[in-house]
């Protein structure tokens, strides 16, 4: 059972209420708690990245991709919350309620290069595996392109997808086969 303060914190994460997140963390709230049906609080944050990614995809589909400034402006609150969580010593090595995915997988699956970069800088393991034994690189490649990393047709990739996968690769991420 979550405390009232933890419930408010989860709601603030879901609503991207940076002020409330910062306030609760400044009051000493430990962000390392588990929400029964969602997993760790960091997973609540990383799940919000999908809304950002949906807007990016919709803009691509409409033939009017967002410019870098638009993407950054809509992403900034996510990055500010991420930084607040890092400063509060949140554990980004925990996985979600199903124990399938962690914050790095979520950030990568949302093709969120700045969040992936920051999590890698924070030493989140790019070679962690899901319950099926797939690495993040293989899992995300399959999610985006229905194939493993070494088989991707880059001409079919959105710029954000390519940049995300290359960032993972350049930071030591391996395919499932490479780690076998």
Q: What is the pLDDT of residues 112-144, one digit of tens each?
A: 999 999 999 999 999 988 878 899 999 999 999
In this prediction the pTM is 0.93
- State the pLDDT at residue 97: 45
Coil vs helix vs strand at 106: helix
The total number of structural domains in the chain stands at 1
Which structural domain, as residue segments, surrounds residue 133? 4-179
Question: From its phi and psi, is residue 33 left (phi > 0), alpha (psi between -120 and 50) or beta?
Answer: beta
- Nearest Cα to 80, choosing from 17, 169, 9? 17
| Contacting residues for 107 by C-beta, under 8 A, at least 6 apart | 46, 49, 115, 116, 119
- State the pLDDT at residue 100: 58
- DSSP label at residue 166: H
For the chain, which residues score pLDDT lower than 50?
97
**Tell me: the pLDDT tens digits for 10-23?**
999 999 999 999 99
Mean pLDDT over each residue of the chain, to the nearest integer: 93
Residue showing tokens 């997993």? 39
Domain of residue 154, CATH code = 1.25.40.20
């Amino acid at each position: 059972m979550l405390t009232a303060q933890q419930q408010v914190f989860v709601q603030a994460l879901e609503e991207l209420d940076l002020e409330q997140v910062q306030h609760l963390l400044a009051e000493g709230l430990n962000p390392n708690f588990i929400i029964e049906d969602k997993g760790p609080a960091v997973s609540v944050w990383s799940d919000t990245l999908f809304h950002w990614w949906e807007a990016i995809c919709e803009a691509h589909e409409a033939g009017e991709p967002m410019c870098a400034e638009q993407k950054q402006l809509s992403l900034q609150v996510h990055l500010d919350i991420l930084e607040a969580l890092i400063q509060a010593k949140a554990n980004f090595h925990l996985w979600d309620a199903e124990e399938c995915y962690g914050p790095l997988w979520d950030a990568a699956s949302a093709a969120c290069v700045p969040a992936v970069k920051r999590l890698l800088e924070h030493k989140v393991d790019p070679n962690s595996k899901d319950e099926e034994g797939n690495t993040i690189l293989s899992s995300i490649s399959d999610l985006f392109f229905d194939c493993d990393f070494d088989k991707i047709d880059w001409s079919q990739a959105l710029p954000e997808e390519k940049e995300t996968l290359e960032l993972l690769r350049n930071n030591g991420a391996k395919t499932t086969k490479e780690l076998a």
